[in-house]
Amino acid sequence: MFRHAATALALGLIVTTPSLAAQRGQGTGTRDGAAINGVDQAQEIDCGGRPAEVSGSGNRINFTGDCPGLTVNGVDNQIGIILRPGAPISVSGVENVVTWRVNGTGKPKVSVQGVDNRVRPAS
């Protein structure tokens, strides 16, 4: 009987435990207002007048609302944002992509450091 119970338990664990590949898209990290820190998060966030910040890797974040600026640090983050005219964008790290729009006219003030980072207007 013990052998059958152990086999049933093992099969139950296999069936109910998601694979690492399935868990990867769920993401982990923290959020404080318009600041995101973590890995593989996918969120849409209203800045609510606060500067947007993203640190970590593999995040897919879309910022809306009144965003007075953006700071990105990390690897392979994809960020969409609507900014105030003349707002600063600061990007450092590797292979981050920021796509921006300005609420009104003008362009942001862009600072990019690191490798293969791209900051471009939304088409």
Q: How many helices (DSSP H) and strands (DSSP E) are in the chain?
A: 2, 11
Per-residue confidence (pLDDT) for residue 70, from 0 to 100: 98
Task: State the Rg of the chain over Cα.
Answer: 20
Tens of pLDDT along 66-107? 899 999 999 999 999 999 999 999 999 999 999 999 988 999
pTM assigned to the model: 0.77
20 pLDDT higher than 60: no
Across 10-19, 21-30, 37-46, least confident range: 10-19
**By the 8 A CB rule, do 29 and 37 touch?**
yes
What is the average per-residue pLDDT within 7-27?
A: 41
4 pLDDT higher than 80: no
User: Token match 């069936």: residue?
Assistant: 15
With vertex at residue 48, the alpha carbon angle to CA 78 and CA 50, rounded to the nearest 5 degrees, is 70
